[in-house]
Amino acid sequence: MAIILQESLRAAFYAPFYAALARGAYAAAGVEVRFTSAPSPAQAATSLLAGAADVCWGGPMRVMATYQADPGCDLVCFAEVVTRDPFLLIGRTPNPGFRMADLLEARLGSVSEVPTPWLCLQDDLRRAGIAPERVNRVADRGMAENCAALRAGTLDVVQAFEPFAATLVAEGAGHVWYAAAARGPTSYTTFYARRPVMAAKREAFRRMVRAIQATQTWLAGADGAEIAATVASYFPDVPHAILAAAYDRYKALGIWGRDPILPRAGYERLRASLVSGGFVTAGASFEQAVDNSLAEEEHRWPGA
């Protein structure tokens, strides 16, 4: 029986997941996977809990949010893929010496589609000694609308993921000020599932982890153009050159892990951001929300 694998939203930084599907990595690992999409990012975890999918990929943020609402829930992250924050600050003018304090003099359009990017950025601000509420922030518009406002000059800097950055840079309408990946490990995307489902389908899940590790190895040796060509069918409206530039940037920033083990440091940095932003009170502990056993076994004995 096929494992139903659900994405939370369509995003270029999820390239390893799309590449695993496009390259037949799951079949090669001996597991049948059926791919589906969540009704919305906010419904990804609830859809999983309702049994509409066996496995989701998405942020540990969703797992922590579910524990916040229901401390007795049984969700667990079991393989990390995106190990650093893929969001960027793109300004209307060059700013090669960017400091967080520069945001106090700018009109910022932050991401509204999902909460994690702003929660992480506000924590960066706090760590730089800046109260986030001091920033002149537009918080209720989507990335595409914010990018249009940057072009029009009504915003000075926008927060967005790729390929928005590559598009603005290619147009000469934007300049990368800050890559959030520079803060270091911040666990951003993993597989997650219910613990009872993981136990019942452990061998299938093991093979999924094996497929992701094989894809991570392939990604490490691929350039942006090759990655873009592999996942192009998932982004039919993005020109190849733009997608290739986006992936070259992401590779240079090291946003994808070389193995599926979720490090405690990355999880704790994410949790600290969610706590400092008031999204969760304490956040689920690493021991509650993470099970690295499959990732560690596959990393130790790949293909066994």
What tens digit of pLDDT does each residue of 201-249 get? Answer: 999 999 999 999 999 999 999 999 999 999 999 999 999 999 999 999 9
CA distance 277 to 57: 23
Q: d(Cα 213, Cα 203) in Å, to the nearest integer? A: 15
State whether 160 and 269 are in the same domain.
no
What range defines the domain where residue 200 resides?
A: 3-84+185-300
In this structure, are 196 and 219 located in the same domain?
yes
| Reported confidence tier of residue 283, pLDDT bands at 50, 70, 90 | confident
Last residue within a domain, chosen from 139, 159, 183: 183
For residue range 124-181, list pLDDT tens digits in order: 999 999 999 999 999 999 999 999 999 999 999 999 999 999 999 999 999 999 999 9
CA distance 300 to 6: 27
Pairing of the two strands 88-91 and 175-179: antiparallel
Peptide bond into 163 cis (omega under 30): yes
Which pTM value belongs to this model? 0.95
CATH number at residue 223: 3.40.190.10
